[in-house]
Amino acid sequence: MESRWQNDCENPNDPGNSPRYHTGEPCIEAGCNLPAGTVWSPLWCQFHNAERLMRIEGQLRRIQSFCARAEGGNYKEEVNYERCA
Ligand SMILES: [Zn+2]
């Protein structure tokens, strides 16, 4: 089935976003009063949790591409390979 969501956390109808994970507390994001709690974290509402996970994924992609370029040669001396593993 085609999905417009790239990741399950972005889909409000994913079982991981079901109300059974709601903690009864509001989301910790300032100004957001949506119910907190997903299978991924008890602290954020579905929207802010997805936003947070996508941001982390973007950072990991940048690190990954930096390491790939480093292995190509240009950055070799500046890179700590253990950190990129
Ligand atoms: Zn929120």
| Nearest CA among 3, 38, 4 for reference residue 19 | 38
Would you state the pLDDT for residue 85?
46
Mean pLDDT, the chain, integer:
85
Q: Which residues surround the ion ligand 1 when the cut-off is CB under 5 Å?
A: 27, 29, 32, 34, 45, 48
For residue 85, the one-letter residue type is A
Rounded to two decimals, the pTM is 0.72
Q: Over the stretch 21-59, which tens digit does the pLDDT of each residue have? A: 999 999 999 999 999 999 999 999 999 999 999 999 889
Q: How far apart are the CA of 1 and the centre of ligand 1, in A? A: 28
Q: How far apart are the CA of 61 and the centre of ligand 1, in A? A: 24
Residue of 70 and 15 predicted with greater confidence: 15
Token reading at 71: 């292995």
